[in-house]
Amino acid sequence: MTSPAQSDAAPNDEVRLERLTSAEIGRAIASGVRTAVLPLAAVEQHGCHLPLSMDADHADALAIRIASGLGDALALPTVRVGYSPHHLGFPGTLSIRAETLESICLDYGTHLYEQGFRNLVIFSGHIGNYPVLQRAQERLEAALKPLTVVVFTDGSAILNAWRRAAEDTASLGDRVGGHADLAETSVMLALHPERVRRAAYLRGYTGTVDDEFLSKVFDEGMRSQSPTGILGDPNGASALIGEACLAAVTDLIVAHAQSRVCESDGDRLRSPRTPSSQESGGRYE
């Protein structure tokens, strides 16, 4: 018979910080957990077939997978509202200023080092946050030292990973455009199929999505480039493609984080060691 203490214990595979008790987090850090994963997201329109929570639901799921993939990590609560001014032409979209998003990342990370964490990995389930992260990266790295801050900023790599996953799984890579498309619709079918309005699928903008096009989206708004609010085509979406997309992006971010943390560890080992108070013959005041 299971005792109350056993039945109330957290699952051994739980990596979401907010689902753990303070004591459980303390034990996790003592046993070797050193990395916090911070997922960013958005609450914005995703066509007529996906809910505004698409990016936040996506970030929630990726954070769990990334933390598990890293092995020494816990996932922080998702910052659900992000930088989405280019979607404000559609009802319901929420947006915060770029400087607000940067400040939230700073505030999330400020006390992690003193609690025992040594690394902070920041990524976004909303591609529109990546330009903000690119501009904020160096400031966050400097402000949060000695915490090692790893900021994933390559939105193009995510789009390419989605395209490869969709092509390898169903030969539908050409339907990935980056917003409410085959990839995102498939991800939602894998995570929360009941939230997908399948009868409302519409083909969106299917032309070239490059830096010039994205600049127009950011400057002039999504509606000016795609009246449906969709980049790509959701038709053909499936949970199988969604799982492949989730796995591909998880692998991408885990590999990036591991590489950067190894570089940082090497830098620390190569840096001159500060003598202790005993070695220097003095004491700290």
pLDDT for 275: 41
Task: Give the residues across from 138 on adjacent strands.
Answer: none
Task: Supply the DSSP symbol for 77.
Answer: P
- Cβ atoms of 237 and 185 within 8 Å: the answer is yes
pTM above 0.85, yes or no: yes
Residues of the chain with pLDDT under 50: 1-7, 269, 271, 273-285
Q: How many angstroms separate the Cα of 167 from the Cα of each of 47, 145, 174, 235, 279?
A: 23, 41, 8, 14, 61
Q: Strands 176-179 and 231-232: what pairing?
A: antiparallel
Which amino acid is located at 233 in the chain? D
pLDDT for 264: 73
Chain position carrying tokens 């989405």? 84
- CA torsion, ordered 93, 216, 201, 188, to nearest 10 deg: -60
pLDDT for 262: 86
- Cβ atoms of 106 and 64 within 8 Å: the answer is no
pLDDT for 210: 85
